[in-house]
Amino acid sequence: MVTRKRALKAPPDSDTDSRVQRSKHTVLAATYELLTQSGLAGVSVDAVSKRSGVAKTTIYRHWPSRSALLLDACSRMGSRAQTPDTGTLRGDLETLAFHVAGRLRTAPWAAVLPSIIDAAERDADLAGVQARIHAEMRYPFCAVVERAQQKGQARRGVNPAEIVAAVLGPLFYRRWFSREPLDDTFVKAVVQNVISQL
């Protein structure tokens, strides 16, 4: 009856334990796999356990809930593109746009982002994740635009955010809404269109 509380004295989580590290890594890998194959909905602790071979108990020992695991795995989906410097704004934007288009054409990202966006409508935590992913993706675009503005290659009055919208918007639209192929011609046309306003 005496429900002795875990007398875990000092180390809050023993990250040094090799077993722990192995478990965590295996689980996250399996989660990521599932995520890219079946979207958020396909990630259940059961499924992760089965695929990874790690017992459900162990998973719950390291993440307090399914959401937490999801969060952790999603965090590994950010963009982290380098800010390019080709000399011209058009060149920089095209480089970035091609990069994004490339990711949109391959599985993991394009299949999972809608899941996350959907969930973000109803779940605050995932909305946070989505915001982070979006911020990472947007950052280099803003950077090149602002640099161009400072160098006088673009008008000052334009809000960089709108530029980003004008580039990413049509790309996303093409991938997820109209579902037409995201070919290079289209990407170039989008960039060209944006440049023409600056």
Tokens of 122: 């109803």
Q: Which is nearer to a second copy, 4 or 87 (CB)?
A: 4
Tokens of 32: 């990521």
Q: Which is nearer to a second copy, 41 or 68 (CB)?
A: 41
**Residue 8 partner contact from a second copy, DNA, none using kind-dependent CB cut-offs of 5 to 8 Å:** DNA
Q: By CB under 7 A, is residue 20 in contact with DNA?
A: yes
Cβ pair 152, 89 in contact under 8 A: no
Tokens of 129: 């994740």
In the complex, what is the shortest distance from the CB of residue 67 to DNA, in angstroms, rounded to a whole number?
7
Q: Which is nearer to a second copy, 17 or 85 (CB)?
A: 17
In the complex, what is the shortest distance from the CB of residue 76 to DNA, in angstroms, rounded to a whole number?
18
Name residue, tokens 């095209």.
94
Q: By CB under 7 A, is residue 122 in contact with DNA?
A: no
Helix (H) or strand (E) holding 43: none
Three-state DSSP at 56 gives helix
In the complex, what is the shortest distance from the CB of residue 167 to a second copy, in angstroms, rounded to a whole number?
9
Q: Which is nearer to a second copy, 67 or 86 (CB)?
A: 67
CA distance 57 to 61: 6
